[in-house]
Amino acid sequence: MSVYLHEEDLPAGVLADGPVAIDTETMGLITPRDRLCLVQISDGKGDEHLVRFQPGSSYAAPNLRAIVADPNRIKLFHFGRFDIAALQHYLGVLAAPVYCTKIASRLVRTYTDRHGLKEIVRELLGFDISKQQQSSDWGGPVLSDAQRDYAASDVRYLHALKAELDVRLEREGRMALAQACFDFLPHRALLDLAGWPEIDIFAHA
């Protein structure tokens, strides 16, 4: 298992066919203000690839864009709503089809309100992951080893989590509902970017 750091784009041919796990690191939580610094991606075969973008980047990244936009690849996220919006805003591509482990967890782990990646990985897979670098400076000139490992861990377990969560979704009869949520998720991200981040347009009031 190795972690590879690339500048400005993903090299061609480094990912196997099939679903890919994707995560992003930004300078903050307001997408138009806080630039995209890093995109993590894994095909679930044991390696993770980190694509770093420098200040002033054009975000051209043709290889990465092609993966994100590929309609034949499922993109796995944890809280995909944020990452999909960041990828759309900076790379100009809408990720679809998608799967979100946080949505799946909320649909089947109704016995808890703890749906963070750390908690889900611990319960379903038995691994402890560190979140100490979550709020670190991702825009600096050098990524520390701790930052690289943290970034890689955000995509390392998503394929295995999907498999476990799918078993529970099927068991509880909620797979169709989950899929409908996943299908809507890119549109939810677009609503965020268009100015409806906290407004429930389905609400009566």
The sign of the CA dihedral 39, 165, 103, 189 is positive
pLDDT above 70 covers a percentage of the chain that reads: 99
Residue holding tokens 């298992």? 1
Query: What does the block give as tokens for 73?
Result: 């690849």
The CA distances from residue 120 to 88, 108, 134, in Å, are 27, 11, 16
pLDDT digits (tens, 9 = 90+) for 13-37: 999 999 999 999 999 999 999 999 9
Give the pLDDT band (50/70/90) at residue 133.
low
Parse the chain into domains and list their residue ranges: 3-194
Cβ pair 51, 10 in contact under 8 A: yes
Query: What pLDDT does 155 receive?
Result: 98
Query: What does the block give as tokens for 106?
Result: 């909320």
Query: What does the block give as tokens for 147?
Result: 């930052």
Which is nearest to 52 in space by CA: 65, 34, 38? 38
pLDDT digits (tens, 9 = 90+) for 141-199: 999 999 999 999 999 999 999 999 999 999 999 999 999 999 999 999 999 999 999 99
pLDDT digits (tens, 9 = 90+) for 62-76: 999 999 999 999 999
The strands making up 98-100's β-sheet, listed across from edge to edge, are: 3-7, 48-52, 36-42, 20-26, 75-77, 98-100
Burial (CB count within 10 angstroms: exposed 0-12, middle 13-18, buried 19+), residue 120: buried
48 sits in which H/E element: strand 48-52
3-194 sits in which CATH class?
Answer: alpha beta
Instruction: List, as own/partner pairs, every contact residues 79-83 make where C-beta atoms lie below 8 angstroms and the sequence separation is at least 24, other chains included.
Output: 80/185, 80/189, 81/185, 81/188, 81/189, 81/192, 82/24, 82/29, 82/31, 82/189, 83/22, 83/23, 83/24
Query: What pLDDT does 130 receive?
Result: 78
